[in-house]
Amino acid sequence: MVAHDLSPLESADIDMTVPDAEDPVFALHRGGKMAVSSTVELRDATDLSMAYTPGVARVCEAIAADPQLAHDYTWVSNTVAVVTDGTAVLGLGDIGPAASMPVMEGKAVLFKQFGGVDAVPIALDTTDVDEIVETVARLAPSFGGINLEDIAAPRCFEIERRLIERLDIPVFHDDQHGTAVVTLAALINAARLTDRDLDELKVVISGAGAAGVAIAKILRAAGVRKISVVDRSGVLVPERDDLTETKRWLADFCAPWASAGSCADALVGADVFIGVSGGTVPESAVAQMADDAIVFAMANPHPEVHPDVARRHARVVATGRSDFPNQINNVLVFPGIFRGALDVRATAISESMKLAAATALADLVGDEVREDYVIPSPFDPRVAQVVARAVTDTARREGLARRPY
């Protein structure tokens, strides 16, 4: 028998399209990673008459008279829909709804494990914006929140915007905002460690997709003023005539400090590199960054620059991988954000809630901050609690909580 672990899965000599009976990953996934279980026992006819007919009719009539009671007497108050169209799945791209299901199930498992939130994976067989919005809106009465997942840009922006406008429950595109919140938390501590203020940092973001846009927004909201976003053609500047609507907005919004040029050009003298696009950043470009540079190479499974290489020139290095220090992982925030939002029956997840979550996450590290510890571990039992508390406190302060106590 051949022993397997996660690392050989990245080897070129393994055909990952063929299930391997000896591979523990396939063994773990057989039959799916989740199931529905009852929270009540049906021991006799009395139990049955209360859980179902005739007793259940009394609860239905009460909810019909006051729909908000659904949050008290059904699973709605603790359940989130994890919705995808399978067009931007992890590092795999557009693999379709069926192939996305193992990831959506995994997301649901993370919700339960780290936030105590029940989640239902829903993979939609459409990429049409109108159809996705209409389908999710019609499903919404069954859930207390909507987590959009692995939907390609730029459609993800419009889908999220339209659902937020239409629904009175939290709608959250984790690929955008979860990534942004964790990135900001790590950057707060990296700046603290290197004795910098956020408004002094020269930041280069590689990638103008969902994550890049959200990171740029939250960094600006947190006080970062010098941001240059780059795509495959170089720095996004207003003078470029090849920009999409989203990229042109980014070019105007960020007021880039770097002039037109490549990513390597922008990194000369930069304090921070944030990679959310894949591709490769040469070591020579990292070497041209400022002293005490900060490198967040977050592409998975292959960071834009290998951490061992980045450490030769940067003081703080983070990735999206679990086998290196400083893992910038969305699981640090989305369970806690939804936990907090559900606890107060929030009508939305605001920008202030995201900022509060990032600050709370950064504060968990506090004075213990060091080069290999700018962000907590996902297994730190305090994480979801402090994020949830920051979200609930902010929701109440902003008047977004339907449960103010």
| HEC-encoded secondary structure of the chain | CCCCCCHHHHCCCCCCCCCCCCCHHHHHHCCCCCCCCCCCCCCCHHHHHHHCCCHHHHHHHHHHHCHHHHHHHCHHHHEEEEEECCCCECCCECCHHHHHHHHHHHHHHHHHHHHCCEEEEEECCCCCHHHHHHHHHHHHHHCCEEEECCCCCCHHHHHHHHHHHHCCCCEEEHHHHHHHHHHHHHHHHHHHHCCCCHHHCEEEEECCCHHHHHHHHHHHHHCCCEEEEEECCEECCCCCCCCCHHHHHHHHHHCCCCCCCCHHHHHCCCCEEEECCCCCCCHHHHHCCCCCEEEEECCCCCCCCCHHHHCCCEEEEEECCCCCCCECCHHHCHHHHHHHHHHCCECCCCHHHHHHHHHHHHHHHHHHCECCECCCCCCCCCHHHHHHHHHHHHHHHHCCECCCC
What gap in Å lies between CA 337 and CA 115, rounded to an integer?
Answer: 9
Tell whether 175 is in a known binding site. yes
CA distances from 238 to 208, 228, 273 (A): 14, 12, 21
Q: Active-site residues: which are they? A: 52, 107
Tell whether 149 is in a known binding site. yes
Tell whether 326 is in a known binding site. no
Tell whether 300 is in a known binding site. yes
Please check whether residue 371 is in contact with residue 295, taking contact to mean a CB–CB distance below 8 angstroms.
Answer: no
User: Strand 234-235 and strand 226-231: pairing?
Assistant: antiparallel
Tell whether 61 is in a known binding site. no
What gap in Å lies between CA 319 and CA 328, rounded to an integer?
Answer: 6
What gap in Å lies between CA 248 and CA 246, rounded to an integer?
Answer: 5
Binding residues: 149-150, 175, 300, 329
Binding residues for a divalent metal cation: 149-150, 175
- Binding residues for (S)-malate are 300, 329
